Chain A
């Protein structure tokens, strides 16, 4: 049997095994570990042994090239780490069978979707992922049910749209083979096909306007689920499909790219502004995750090789630091039982490992050099700058949106740092004697944080050369493996110099009176404050909310004026309300309806 089938079948079968009833926790965990470790190892082997394919019924159904090989490897890696993290975090879950089974199924379906070379096969795996997402979110208990419904509605709805797009593609190019499709935007059908598929990718990746399920899911679903699907694998799938479409199936033109650039910029700015106002660890991370996808869409929207490379790199970096951030949120939740800013504060001293991992990941997402988030954002800026060679001056807007969005991200993470890890603790935390989480929580978190640093410092010699250049060379063959940019960022040198600066500062400390350290109560100008007065992070950016135009926008957004799901359900309910009025319960009236219907039917038949 072909190894490509194993990577789908083995995790799937092991997932079924997880559903065998019984209360033995360790067996399920062992099965999960086996399945995810197998998945990761096999995807590594497949990555080393590319290209591979599997044909049946006269067509290539599964195919692994550089892009799918790399994304598969990333999926395997993150699934393994999520599983490791879950063993501790989810040990008290009420639905262990469903949880571990769905984790394995999700990996199997993701692997299938990434390797599928047949559009219908892709859609099957894609749809299956929607169901596993629904089931996984439901493990969050009753509170998660509305969020699960919402995610199913958004993802399922866009899946239906994708089916429409796939049919149109078949009509236009008479093939379902992804590598055989090459469409030009010369008809309305081509545009419709592109945008319906794009909406599917948007819903998975969480690009505006299809993003609304992510904040709700992250607030109520268990944290590993959020870290697993909306934060990493769904991003991976959405961006993967977008790249397949924009750099393979469709020959992009300027106006379609323009749409992507506009959507990307709006996504960055609007959702990071929402993040600024959140008062819950996980909701803030969720909004921030949405805004990061905007960067990837911008990179893809440039249509340039550099932009593609930057988008892919940003995707992988985002998976790293966002998974790490959700892990720290989980660690905090595990120890304190809450993720709301009102209940947290001053945890940095009590949970040092969590704090350091958080700080690294938070700086990475804010794009502080020399961490990985900076390098990929910097590459995206460079690709946006390159747009000026192809004419037009709109690049100024995209670049501006991207750079300012990064500043806003930093601001929202400063608020988070203060509200959760620094600042004063509320009385409850002081009394509760909170300590650090266990090894199985710290290890995945810290390991990924270290990767964030390494991917930043050795970006060009490491991930970019190893993974991204071959992909770019394959999808945009014009540049043939050469790094398509001048290197004006030497991360290694910068890191060394910053280290030198730290040493200088340390020497200054040494020259001073370092032995003479005294502890004293914090200085409040002689005023005696009650013990429970503290500056939590909640009112941090109220100044921004009180600004004229922006304030109104925030209030509208909080009232869900821009939420397609809410708008859609409101519409459905109002239509339903109208129809309800027709149901009076009088038999005569129903008979009249039937008669009217028959008459209309007859008229229609006679008309033919």
Chain B
């Protein structure tokens, strides 16, 4: 019952959704300011969400209906699970909640899979193309991302989220070591791809694929997909904070310090997204399996040597 509360209210669904909307507002506002626009009001993400709920659902003719409509729900459930796991590990580091770091990595893949399956099910050719790109992008960023995670495992000698938290309490955050810095760079780049934000918004590619994977979605399913995206924008940087920056602390000034860690990451994401053009999928693969991979390997070697 306690777990259910944690999952549904705090720090799970409700909390993540609200903060996710807030964060996506910040993202849009900053982007607007960078482009010399005024930007949306604070409640705009909520308005968008409610408005989408009221719209009709259009299902493409001949699509696998159930798969098409169910897929977004799995993404939502998975991102909520990741968020609860990460927060519970900061709140109660000595207790295990559901699973460890490996489980987090696996559950983190589910939203992407849900989007891919949903796009495939729509029977739209453009969505199929987008989904194949999403899958390739996932392969591309998974390789260096695993290396970055290895650095955390090597340093903290643990995969239990609470132990990683405790390690950083005692020995300082992973980011404070050389290998940690390199791993963090790799992880932030991978995060950008996992969030499919510019320059890695290849699966959606509005100007060429018209939303790609989302092209056939409308009404409530689209609302759920958008909500999942917003929650990801909050959750993924929180995973990074937990793994590399020592996690969230709740005593006195530490709260501000914890928020600052997240905000810095968010700013980095928004900056990257506003200063880069979209790359092609083969360029993205070469990028992640080339230079980023090499940085990742260097980070792992440094970590093994103790730096």
Give me the interface of A with B, judged by CB distance under 8 Å.
346, 348-349, 355, 367-369, 374, 378, 381-382, 385, 388, 393, 396, 399-400, 403-404, 407-408, 410-411, 414-415, 417-418, 421-424, 486-490, 493-494, 496-502, 504-506, 508-509, 511-514, 516-525, 529, 533-535, 540-541, 543-544, 546-547
Q: Assess the A385–B159 pair: CB atoms within 8 A.
A: yes
Which residues does chain B contribute within 8 Å of A502, judged by CB atoms?
73-74, 76-77
Q: List 19 A-B contacts (CB under 8 A).
A: A369-B107, A385-B159, A388-B157, A403-B146, A404-B146, A418-B131, A421-B64, A489-B100, A497-B98, A498-B77, A501-B13, A505-B77, A509-B69, A513-B219, A514-B220, A522-B63, A544-B136, A544-B285, A546-B282
Q: Assess the A396–B138 pair: CB atoms within 8 A.
A: no
Indicate which residue in B58, B62, B216 contacts A346 across the interface (CB closer than 8 Å). Answer: B62
6 residue pairs, one from A and one from B, having the closest CB atoms: A501-B77, A512-B220, A505-B73, A422-B120, A512-B53, A516-B56
Which residues does chain A contribute within 8 Å of B64, judged by CB atoms?
346, 348-349, 355, 421-422
Which residues does chain A contribute within 8 Å of B300, judged by CB atoms?
396
Q: Assess the B120–A493 pair: CB atoms within 8 A.
A: no
Residue B237 interfacial (CB < 8 Å): no
Q: Assess the B77–A422 pair: CB atoms within 8 A.
A: no
Residue B180 interfacial (CB < 8 Å): no
Q: Assess the A500–B289 pair: CB atoms within 8 A.
A: no
Which residues does chain B contribute within 8 Å of A522, judged by CB atoms?
60-63, 122-125, 127, 216
Main secondary structure of the interface of B (DSSP, over half): helix
Interface 1/0s, chain B 25-60, versus A by CB < 8 A?
A: 000000000000000000000000000111111111
Residue B270 interfacial (CB < 8 Å): no
Among residues 1 to 25 in chain B, which have CB atoms less than 8 Å away from a CB atom of chain A? 3-4, 7-8, 13
CB distance from B83 to the nearest CB of A (A): 11
Give the distance in Å from the alpha carbon of A468 to the alpha carbon of B147 in the complex: 32
Indicate which residue in A408, A500, A519, A543 contacts B8 across the interface (CB closer than 8 Å). Answer: A500
Give the distance in Å from the alpha carbon of A535 to the alpha carbon of B125 in the complex: 6
Summed over the interface, the residue pairs from A and B with CB atoms below 8 Å come to a total of 247
Contact of A410 with B84 at beta-carbon distance under 8 Å, contacts A497-B7, A518-B57 already known: no
Q: Assess the B223–A422 pair: CB atoms within 8 A.
A: no
CB distance from A394 to the nearest CB of B (A): 10
B285 (CB) vs chain A CBs: closest residue? A543
Which of B117, B132, B142, B286 has the most chain A CB within a 10 Å cutoff? Answer: B132
Q: Assess the A488–B58 pair: CB atoms within 8 A.
A: no
Q: Assess the A490–B289 pair: CB atoms within 8 A.
A: no
CB distance from A506 to the nearest CB of B (A): 7
Residue B304 interfacial (CB < 8 Å): yes
Which residues does chain B contribute within 8 Å of A414, judged by CB atoms?
113, 116-117, 120, 131, 135
Give me the interface of B with A, judged by CB distance under 8 Å.
3-4, 7-8, 13, 52-65, 67, 69, 72-74, 76-78, 80-81, 84, 96, 98-100, 102-103, 105-107, 109-110, 113, 116-117, 120-129, 131-132, 135-136, 138-139, 142-143, 146-147, 150, 153-154, 157, 159-160, 210, 215-216, 219-221, 223-224, 227, 281-282, 285-286, 289, 300, 304
CB distance from B36 to the nearest CB of A (A): 30
Give the distance in Å from the alpha carbon of A9 to the alpha carbon of B258 in the complex: 70
B17 (CB) vs chain A CBs: closest residue? A504
B13 (CB) vs chain A CBs: closest residue? A504
A521 (CB) vs chain B CBs: closest residue? B61
Give the distance in Å from the alpha carbon of A369 to the alpha carbon of B53 in the complex: 30
Indicate which residue in B102, B117, B124, B282 contacts A524 across the interface (CB closer than 8 Å). Answer: B124
Q: Assess the A506–B210 pair: CB atoms within 8 A.
A: no
Which residues does chain A contribute within 8 Å of B142, judged by CB atoms?
404, 407
Q: Assess the B220–A523 pair: CB atoms within 8 A.
A: no
CB distance from B197 to the nearest CB of A (A): 20
Q: Assess the B135–A381 pair: CB atoms within 8 A.
A: no
Which residues does chain A contribute within 8 Å of B138, judged by CB atoms?
407, 411
Which residues does chain A contribute within 8 Å of B129, judged by CB atoms?
535
B304 (CB) vs chain A CBs: closest residue? A393
CB distance from A456 to the nearest CB of B (A): 12
B134 (CB) vs chain A CBs: closest residue? A414
Q: Assess the B60–A346 pair: CB atoms within 8 A.
A: no
Which residues does chain A contribute within 8 Å of B67, judged by CB atoms?
348, 355, 422
Which residues does chain B contribute within 8 Å of A410, judged by CB atoms?
109, 113
Q: Assess the B120–A417 pair: CB atoms within 8 A.
A: yes
Q: Assess the A378–B103 pair: CB atoms within 8 A.
A: yes
Q: Assess the A513–B53 pair: CB atoms within 8 A.
A: yes
Indicate which residue in B53, B150, B286 contacts A508 across the interface (CB closer than 8 Å). Answer: B53
Q: Assess the B81–A489 pair: CB atoms within 8 A.
A: no
Which residues does chain B contribute within 8 Å of A348, judged by CB atoms?
64, 67, 121
Which residues does chain A contribute within 8 Å of B4, judged by CB atoms?
496-497, 500
